[in-house]
Chains A and B, each alone.
Chain A
């Protein structure tokens, strides 16, 4: 599975959009980009995933560059409850793949 690089931390103002970048320059053609987050002391929570098209759900949007070497998770209107560590994970499509959680980005949403 491809390795990912994320900033260690970032701050965001409440009500503003939070844009979380992720680099995955070694991603292969059949690998997906998944995003999870972990709110303090809780288990990780799935947010969104994509292959090559941009994706949107009730939680976030995922923008993947055309060459698929990087992506951005967008939280459109950050709230204090979005304060968490966000993990970008690249993984193949097969079932039972082992998620590899790197350091992630620690996002602090400030009032």
Chain B
């Protein structure tokens, strides 16, 4: 199993450009998440999804859109990139099967490093 993969690994955008970050998981997890991490800071939740076709806002959703058309994929879109969106973006997934106390064991991808000039 590959676990959680993210595409691309690095990207440089100019202000105003758009792009989509792809997250894929092969663990059949129901829940998926997008976080951002600014230098020296902890992770902050952008959006999350509790299942195929559903999405919800996290702590810092402004400027981002998401879609979960397939259970294994979670897309994060930036419609008009701004320098403030320069960050490392992490995707994660978690399961609702098995022991309930393990629901919060999230599996993270390797991250996408985005620079907006």
Contact = CB atoms under 8 A, between A and B. Distances in A.
A49 B90 contact: no
B105 A44 contact: no
B50 interface: yes
A56 B37 CA distance: 29
- Interface residues of A toward B: which range? 20 to 34
Interface in A53-109: 87, 89, 91, 93-104
A62 to B, nearest CB: 13
Given A95-B100, A96-B48, A49 B105 contact: yes
Given A41-B111, A98-B59, A46 B106 contact: yes
Given A51-B101, A101-B42, A103-B42, A95 B110 contact: no
Interface string B39-54: 0011111001010000
A28 to B, nearest CB: 15
Nearest to B42: A101
Contact of A99 (B45, B96, B101, B111): B45
A94 B101 CA distance: 8
A86 B103 CA distance: 20
A93 B92 CA distance: 18
Contacts of B105: 34, 46, 49
Given A43-B92, A46-B106, A98 B58 contact: yes
B100 A93 contact: yes
Contacts of B35: 101
A95 B45 contact: no
Give the top 4 A-B pairs by smallest Cβ distance, nearest first: A43-B108, A101-B42, A95-B103, A101-B43
17 contacts: A32-B101, A34-B105, A43-B90, A43-B109, A43-B110, A44-B43, A49-B104, A91-B104, A93-B103, A95-B30, A95-B94, A95-B103, A96-B94, A98-B48, A99-B43, A101-B42, A102-B42
Interface of A: 32, 34, 41-46, 49, 51, 87, 89, 91, 93-104
